[in-house]
Amino acid sequence: MPAEAPLAIPADSRFILAAARVPAELVLEPPAGAFRDAEGALLLDVLIDHGKVAGLFAGGAGPKDGFRVKMDGRQLWPALIDMHTHLDCGQAIPRVRPDGTIHGGFSQTAADWPHWTDEDMALRMEFGISCAHVHGVAAIRTHVDSETLALSRQGYRAFEQLRQKWARRVELQAVTIAAMEAWIGEEACELADLTASKGGILGGVTDTLERGENGTYDTLDHALDRLFALAKERGLDVDLHVDQTDDLSAFTIPQIAAARLRSDFQGRVVLGHCVNLSLQPPEVIETTLALAKQAELAFVSMPTPMMYLMDRKPGYTPRWRGVTAANEIRAAGLPLAVGGDNCRDAWFPYGDHDMLDTLKQAIRVFQADEPLTGSLAMASRVPADLIGRPDLGRIGTGLPANLIIFSARSLNALLCRDQQDRIVLSHGRQVTDPLPLHHELERALLQVRAD
Ligand SMILES: [Zn+2]
């Protein structure tokens, strides 16, 4: 069989993607009369004009003037969103050598901090952003290591330069990730002010706080109260690393929900990881999620690195998938996004900032495919809303034409093959950049160290 000819995307500012198949959950205000296939995708003509989606029409009913790209039923998706990454730690292989444990992640990252010069960070972080861009990611939220104020300043300096450089192509947001003690320490206000000056978000790691004699997190309430107060004073959102452990006693979601409820903080609160939730008894899961709903908490799960890190012991095959209670969270009506998390660093040695890969892993690991409906939003609509960008992660009239065209005609085919031949449009223009090369980065990093 001859190979299918690749689609030609015009350089014109106005063209029509004719007869595209768009999953209905990714369409804002679908046009009347569009054919809907058995997988829930709508057959649409999509008008692109000056970088925006200028109109959605039932397939065959679009404007007759202008260049028509014959999509022949190819899948058309909005560009995806990665709302939980660590660009500052990333792309450090082989300089760091992960041992598959959380402890190793912490200690090896800390040992790598002395190498984090402006140049080193710029090279590694930009490599990650470039990968995401080529794969069709329109926005990234990254956590800035802020163990000390100096480290935080260093990370934000690199972040700020890249945020400006990549604006419109990959929108960048940053979260200040610190030990929770930092929010009751002497530098708390300065750290919060630094975050605010960069348009950032306040974060922290809740389950690594020192515990009292009876195993409870005695200072967590105080730290959470201060965190919410600092965020409220500055109008910032909150995004926490929560319970990244199989230790059932290190379970902080109820304390976070209670702190949110007793505060008058009105911003968004996102909880990342929460993996031991899935190991709790069903009645604990139920009451915890009811409390989370009352406190308007949202969740983000990082299935790929968690499968690598959780339930790992020498000479043992993991019995636990290491992810949160994803389907229970969704069934409770709470927002659940997926994120890529660490990439080629001391926590996780693999990854390529490809959110399609993350979504596919999530669908399989969560068994979120019966039905598949709603699951695609975990990497698009849901994270776009949680990062405050409702103009992204969906296809709608007036929204940026940040799109991915797949050669697959069905969702099944899309999930079966790796889709490396996808075509990415950024504001209506085809992205033609190649993926950056690992060996070239390695060479450049060695050069930086030699200088
Ligand atoms: Zn993380």
The one-character DSSP state at 410 is S
Q: State in Å: Cα 271 to ligand 1 middle.
A: 10
Mean pLDDT by 10 residues, the chain (451 residues): 88 96 97 96 98 98 94 98 98 95 94 96 98 98 97 98 98 97 95 97 91 84 97 98 94 97 97 98 98 98 97 96 97 98 98 98 95 93 98 98 98 95 98 98 93 79
**Predicted model pTM:** 0.97
Return the number of other C-beta atoms located less than 10 Å from residue 333's C-beta.
Answer: 8
Using DSSP, state whether 44 is helix, strand or coil.
strand
Q: Give which of 81, 80, 73 is closest to 41, Cα–Cα.
A: 73
CB–CB of 246/276 below 8 Å? yes
Q: State in Å: Cα 68 to ligand 1 middle.
A: 42
Beta strands across the sheet bearing 80-85? 80-85, 137-145, 171-177, 201-205, 238-242, 269-273, 297-301, 336-338
Q: State in Å: Cα 301 to ligand 1 middle.
A: 9
Statement: 80-386 belongs to CATH 3.40.1280.10: no
Q: What's the CA gap between 445 and 451, in Å, rounded?
A: 10
Asked if the peptide bond before residue 98 counts as cis, ω within 30 degrees of 0, the response is no
Beta strands across the sheet bearing 423-426? 76-78, 403-405, 423-426, 429-430
Q: State in Å: Cα 388 to ligand 1 middle.
A: 19
Q: State in Å: Cα 241 to ligand 1 middle.
A: 6
Q: Cβ neighbours of residue 181 under 8 Å, at least 6 residues apart?
A: 209, 210, 219, 223
Q: What is the pLDDT of residue 451?
A: 79
Q: What is the pLDDT of residue 373?
A: 85
Question: CA Rg, the chain, in Å?
Answer: 22
Q: State in Å: Cα 256 to ligand 1 middle.
A: 17
| Rounded (10°) CA dihedral 320, 141, 237, 304 | 0
User: How many CA within 13 A on the CB side of residue 308?
Assistant: 23
Q: State in Å: Cα 407 to ligand 1 middle.
A: 32
Q: What is the pLDDT of residue 341?
A: 98
What proportions of the chain, in percent to the nearest 5, are helix, strand and coil? 35, 20, 45
Residue intervals in the chain for CATH 3.20.20.140: 80-386
Domain at 14-79+394-430, CATH homologous superfamily: Urease, subunit C, domain 1 (2.30.40.10)
Q: State in Å: Cα 309 to ligand 1 middle.
A: 12
Q: State in Å: Cα 45 to ligand 1 middle.
A: 39
User: How many CA within 13 A on the CB side of residue 27?
Assistant: 25
Q: What's the CA gap between 295 and 263, in Å, rounded?
A: 10
Q: What is the pLDDT of residue 240?
A: 98
Q: What's the CA gap between 13 and 66, in Å, rounded?
A: 10
Q: State in Å: Cα 274 to ligand 1 middle.
A: 11
| Rounded (10°) CA dihedral 15, 17, 18, 24 | -140
Q: What is the pLDDT of residue 218?
A: 85
Q: What's the CA gap between 147 and 159, in Å, rounded?
A: 16
Q: Give which of 304, 326, 418 is closest to 378, Cα–Cα.
A: 326
